[in-house]
Chain A
Amino acid sequence: MVGRKILVIEDKWCKGCGICAAFCPKQVLEIKKEKVRLKDPEGCIRCGQCELRCPDYAIYLVNVEE
């Protein structure tokens, strides 16, 4: 079994502050209608910077087993 990580966005908790999008090293996040959106899923390297910086715990990585 190989584990992999996926990025999850908790829409209801996002306040649209834009911190995750600003500090994303690959610039794959954007704020649309005051909510964060993953605009480039292919470009995301799952580094977890967004999870570390989100004050509202609205974006994070989860391990999934395949």
Chain B
Amino acid sequence: MPSDLIHQYMRIDHLPQIWCPGCGNGVIMRDVAVAIDELIQDEENDFDRDDFVIVSGIGCSSRAAGYLDFNSIHTTHGRAIAFATGIKMANPKLNVIVLTGDGDCSAIGGNHLIHAARRNLGLTVICFNNDIYGMTGGQYSPTTPNGDKATTAPYGNVDRPFDIANLATGAGASFSARGDVFHARETTEIIKKAILHKGFSLVDVYSVCPTYYGRKNKKGDAVEMLKWQRDNLIPTARYYSMSEELRAGKKLIGILSYNDYPEYTEEYAKVIAAASNKAKK
């Protein structure tokens, strides 16, 4: 028997999941389950389980829609946000959560990401960012750091990487944040805020891929990779108390940008109301 949380929110007959030993995705999926559980428990929100929809694309990360026991849909490569757009437009009351990977959301589905962000459609996109295409065999992805190795970049990656959180901000997302596997509690809080946010929200969660990215780049095993996250990814409160010198080479974990730009389905409802009034006349 697994713990109550896992029993309640995951499809036990599909577990243990197929992810490699030490893969960070399991922790991020648990963060999502804890975040939803805490939002449901909080009476202020008046949510129940059926108010949540989990949508995923293709890739290691996207297996999560199969494991999480909600109304869930596992879609085609890169198109998770497109399917989620349809669900949100059909029923704007739902909390539509897209679980995607770095390749799925910034390469194959890059256009869907920037346009959903531009429209500020009320989705919550959680990107399991492991810097590589894991499922297909370790090819470099748009987030593989410059110079790092992958099966398709044996001499080092020539490309410059995307910073997905900043990409979303640039495209117009009204909430963009960064999380990681090591800071699980902080990341859970960020995911809760992202779900409660009305407009488009994106959380770029740094995962660890010890099997492909770690091994190719001599980053050590999962434990070493998590220690790197502990030492180099800094939660907001501590980050801003650090001097410029100490911050060098470190990245902030927390909410990066936030605004109250009008949400798309609400604006669209006004169009529907205006059109129906005109039709009645």
In the complex formed, the residue of A with least CB distance to B226 is A19
- Residues from chain B with a CB closer than 8 A to the CB of A4 are none
Q: How large is the interface on A (under 10, 10 to 19, 20 to 34, 35 or more residues)?
A: 20 to 34
Cβ-based interface call for B3 (8 A): yes
A52 near B185: Cβ-Cβ < 8 Å: yes
- Residues from chain B with a CB closer than 8 A to the CB of A56 are 16-17, 26
A37 to chain B, nearest CB (A): 16
Within 8 A of B (CB), among A29-53: 51-53
- Residues from chain B with a CB closer than 8 A to the CB of A62 are 3-4
The distance in angstroms between the C-alpha atoms of A57 and B1, with both chains bound, is 11
Number of interface residues of B (CB under 8 A): 27
A65 to chain B, nearest CB (A): 14
Within 8 A of B (CB), among A1-42: 8, 10, 12-13, 15-19, 22-23
A19 near B223: Cβ-Cβ < 8 Å: yes
B16 near A12: Cβ-Cβ < 8 Å: yes
B46 to chain A, nearest CB (A): 27
Cβ-based interface call for B19 (8 A): yes
Taking A55-B25, A57-B3 as contacts, is the C-beta distance between A19 and B15 under 8 angstroms?
no
Task: Name the one of A18, A19, A57, A61 contacting B2, with C-beta atoms under 8 angstroms.
Answer: A57
B21 near A57: Cβ-Cβ < 8 Å: no
Within 8 A of A (CB), among B18-74: 19-27, 30
A53 near B27: Cβ-Cβ < 8 Å: yes
Task: Name the one of A13, A19, A58 contacting B222, with C-beta atoms under 8 angstroms.
Answer: A19
Cβ-based interface call for B189 (8 A): no
The distance in angstroms between the C-alpha atoms of A19 and B24, with both chains bound, is 10
A10 near B226: Cβ-Cβ < 8 Å: no
| A-B contact list, 10 entries, CB within 8 Å | A13-B16, A15-B20, A19-B222, A19-B223, A22-B226, A53-B184, A55-B24, A55-B26, A56-B17, A62-B3
Extra inter-chain contacts (5) besides given A17-B222, A57-B10, CB under 8 Å: A15-B22, A19-B22, A53-B226, A55-B26, A60-B6
Q: Which 8 A-B pairs have the closest CB atoms?
A: A55-B26, A17-B22, A15-B21, A60-B3, A17-B21, A22-B223, A13-B16, A57-B6
